């Protein structure tokens, strides 16, 4: 069940009504949200609901053991972590590892939707309980944290310490908050259904599937197009997730903050997929590798290793490793340059930093988009060969969508909040009709069909 569809609309109306009716029935409300989340997930593949429940029970059990144990707490933590990584590895990396060992699997393994997201939620819960950052939760609450449908399949990764306390209070929803949620859902629908979908169908997919058959200019445009597509696709999902959770009385963290206006790669990672980058920073870079309070070479190694593992989190492919290594390498170079830069040298203008950072990110997306290393190399060779052939594929419409997708990075940062404050003075029916008019325009603008969100595959 995809968010911007009629089936989800009906599903959400029912959940919204029940959530309001059960606002003060604490546990029954949690049970209702849990059942709704399992229904939502089960419509993809009912078999994996059991995996979701087993994963929640595993993490709940180990967190209880860790919180009560007087000794061997670290051993219990490692056992919990290995269980989580074992499940993730079994589904996600078994084929890749078997290929590396020269023993390809006879049958492809079906990847449960969102397994990387709910596994990371479980991992952060047991680690936080071990570190005393969160109290052990009830099985019911933890299962909802890991299964809650707005963020179940593609994030944002919500920390236990951020969501579990919200379950203890009756939900509240102010009118301005409600408008902010509705704007996020509408804006997400526009980004996904119009911008990302059209750029994908009319430029990115045909060019990436046959780089040799397109001119260098088209390859360059497709690379820019994919940078815009992946932003509009992924940020659309998390905008909608934040808006939907907000309407049910839950506050989710911001996950994107105009990432392509970053003036360095370090800044980019504070603005892109914030919930994953902060997870990697806290649990891997600092928690496992020691962070920046150590010798410079070890800090650089920690940074590089974190990004390579972050690449592998996306999937079992050399291209994801290269993508992570490119980001890790540039982050290390930025850190070293900060130290080595002569003090008399003028700083790089902000616009130049933005242009350079965007192009490094766009280069990385080429490896991210191509399934094979040879495909990415052919794409890059085609770009630098500067060949011209065939009729131009990119129409003025697609170019306008790329420009629109980039322009929203340079608009006012608090546009959603300001619009919410302005619209909240209108009666509900009037806002409903404005929203309907926008959705009708979206329905007319979008081409046929709706591709799944890119991050569903992770």
Q: Confirm or reject binding of residue 341 to another protein (CB under 8 A).
A: no
What is d(CA 398, CA 301) in angstroms, rounded to the nearest whole number? 41
Residues involved in catalysis? 314
Single out the residue of 290, 329, 353, 435 in contact with another protein (rule: CB under 8 A). Answer: 435
Q: Residue 198 or 233: which CB sits closer to another protein? A: 198
Pick between residue 7 and residue 296 the one whose CB is nearest to another protein.
Answer: 7
Q: Does 111 bind another protein (CB under 8 A)?
A: no
Q: Are 131 and 228 in contact (CB under 8 A)?
A: no
**205 scored as a contact of another protein (CB under 8 A):** no
Q: Is 258 in the site for another protein (CB under 8 A)?
A: no
| Using rule CB under 8 A, residue 178 touches another protein | yes
Q: Could you tell me which of 405, 350, 313 has the C-alpha nearest to residue 119?
A: 313
Residue 250 is encoded by which pair of tokens?
């839950």
Give me the least distance between CB of 21 and another protein, in Å please: 10
CB of 383 to another protein, least distance (A): 25
DSSP string, 292-334: TSS-HHHHHHHHHHHHHHHHHHH-SSHHHHHHHHHHHHHHHHH
Query: Which 151-170 residues touch another protein, going by CB under 8 A?
Result: 161-166
Site for another protein (CB under 8 A): which residue of 18, 76, 232, 416? 416
What phi, psi does 170 have (nearest 5°)? -65, 145
Q: Does 390 bind another protein (CB under 8 A)?
A: no
Q: Note whether 270 binds another protein by CB under 8 A.
A: no
CB of 340 or CB of 396, closer to another protein: 396
Window of 54-62, 128-136, 206-214, 323-331 that interacts with another protein by CB under 8 A:
128-136
CB closer to another protein, 180 vs 331: 180
Tell me the closest approach of the beta carbon of residue 405 to another protein, in angstroms: 16
Task: Find out whether 321 and 293 touch, Cβ atoms under 8 Å.
Answer: no
Per CB under 8 A, does 121 bind another protein? no
SS3 411: coil
Q: How far apart are CA 116 and CA 310, in angstroms?
A: 11
CB 245, min distance to another protein, A = 9
Binding of another protein by 294 (CB under 8 A): no
- Contacting residues for 284 by C-beta, under 8 A, at least 6 apart: 305, 306, 309, 310
**What's the rounded Cα separation, in Å, for the pair 159 and 176?**
25
Binding residue for another protein (CB under 8 A) from 31, 42, 44, 175?
175
Nearer to another protein, 136 or 328 (CB): 136
- Helix ranges (H only) for 137-254 are 139-147, 149-152, 160-167, 175-189, 197-199, 205-209, 216-247
- Rule CB under 8 A: say whether 391 interacts with another protein: no
Report the run of H or E that residue 37 belongs to, with start and end. Answer: helix 26-45
Structure token digits, residue 391: 């009729």
Q: Kindly state whether residue 327 participates in binding another protein, applying the rule CB under 8 A.
A: no
- DSSP state, residue 430: H
36 contributes a contact to another protein by CB under 8 A? no
Query: In the numeric block, which tokens belong to residue 223?
Result: 């690379």
| SS3 sequence of 256-293 | CCCHHHCCCHHHHHHHCCHHHHHHHHHHHHHCCCCCCC
What is the three-class DSSP state of 257? coil
On whether the CB atoms of residues 284 and 311 are closer than 8 A, the answer is no
For residues 125 and 59, is the Cβ–Cβ distance under 8 A? Answer: yes
- Among 1, 111, 360, 424, which residue sits at the site for another protein (rule: CB under 8 A)? 424
Which of 18, 142, 153, 181 is in the footprint of another protein by CB under 8 A?
181
Closest of 355, 265, 272, 346 to residue 303, by C-alpha: 265
> Does the protein bind another protein through residue 132 (CB under 8 A)?
yes
Number of residues that make up the chain: 458
Q: How far is CA 272 from CA 255, 261, 387, in A?
A: 7, 11, 33
- Does residue 190 touch another protein according to CB under 8 A? no
Query: DSSP code of 3?
Result: T
Interacting residue with another protein among 43, 50, 57, 440 (CB under 8 A): 440
Q: Applying CB under 8 A, does 269 fall inside the site for another protein? A: no
Closer residue to another protein (CB): 134 or 229: 134
246 lies in the site for another protein, by CB under 8 A: yes
Q: Based on the shown chain and the rule CB under 8 A, indicate whether residue 419 belongs to the binding site for another protein.
A: no
CB of 11 to another protein, least distance (A): 12
Contact 110, 150 (CB under 8 A): no
- Minimum distance between the CB of residue 162 and another protein, rounded to whole angstroms? 4
Which parts of this chain interact with another protein (CB under 8 A)? 5-7, 9, 13, 16, 20, 131-135, 161-166, 173-178, 180-182, 184, 198, 202, 239, 242-243, 246-247, 251-254, 395-398, 416-417, 420-421, 424, 427-429, 431-433, 435-437, 439-441, 443-448
């Amino acid at each position: 069940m995809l968010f911007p569809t009629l089936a989800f609309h009906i599903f959400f109306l029912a959940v919204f009504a029940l959530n309001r009716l059960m606002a003060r029935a604490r546990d029954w409300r949690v049970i209702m949200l849990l059942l709704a989340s399992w229904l939502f997930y089960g419509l993809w593949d009912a078999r994996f609901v059991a995996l979701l429940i087993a994963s929640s029970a595993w993490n709940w059990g180990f967190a209880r053991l860790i919180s009560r144990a007087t000794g061997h707490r670290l051993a219990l933590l490692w056992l919990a972590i290995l269980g989580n990584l074992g499940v993730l590895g079994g589904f996600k990396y078994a084929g890749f590892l078997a290929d590396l060992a020269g023993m390809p699997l006879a049958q492809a393994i079906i990847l449960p939707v969102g397994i990387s997201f709910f596994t990371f939620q479980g991992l952060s819960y047991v680690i936080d309980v071990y570190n005393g950052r969160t109290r052990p939760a009830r099985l019911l609450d933890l299962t909802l944290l890991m299964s809650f449908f707005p963020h179940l399949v593609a994030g944002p990764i919500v920390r236990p310490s951020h969501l579990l306390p919200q379950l203890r209070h009756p939900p509240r929803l102010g009118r301005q908050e409600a408008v902010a949620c509705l704007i996020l859902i509408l804006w997400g629908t526009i980004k996904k259904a119009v911008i990302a979908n059209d750029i994908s169908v009319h430029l990115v997919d045909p060019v990436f599937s046959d780089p040799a058959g397109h001119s260098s200019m088209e390859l360059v445009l497709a690379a820019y197009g994919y940078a815009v597509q992946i932003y509009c696709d992924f940020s659309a999902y998390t905008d909608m997730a934040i808006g939907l959770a907000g309407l049910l009385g839950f506050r989710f963290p911001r996950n994107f903050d105009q990432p392509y206006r970053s003036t360095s790669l370090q800044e980019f990672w504070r603005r892109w997929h914030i919930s994953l980058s902060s997870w990697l920073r806290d649990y891997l870079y600092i928690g496992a590798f020691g962070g920046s309070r150590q010798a410079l070479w070890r800090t650089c190694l920690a940074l590089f290793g974190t990004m390579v593992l972050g690449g592998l989190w996306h999937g079992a492919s050399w291209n994801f490793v290269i993508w992570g290594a490119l980001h890790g390498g540039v982050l290390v170079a930025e850190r070293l340059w900060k130290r080595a830069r002569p003090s008399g040298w003028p700083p790089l203008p902000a616009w130049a930093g933005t242009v350079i950072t965007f192009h490094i990110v766009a280069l990385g997306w080429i490896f991210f988009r191509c399934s094979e290393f040879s495909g990415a190399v052919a794409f890059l060779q085609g770009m630098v060969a500067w060949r011209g052939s065939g009729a131009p594929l990119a129409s003025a419409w697609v170019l306008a969508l790329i420009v629109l997708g980039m322009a929203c990075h340079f608009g006012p940062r608090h546009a959603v909040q300001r619009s919410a404050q302005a619209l909240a003075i209108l009666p509900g029916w009037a806002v409903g009709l404005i929203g309907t008019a926008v959705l009708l325009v979206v329905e007319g603008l979008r081409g046929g069909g709706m591709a799944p969100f890119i991050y569903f595959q992770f």
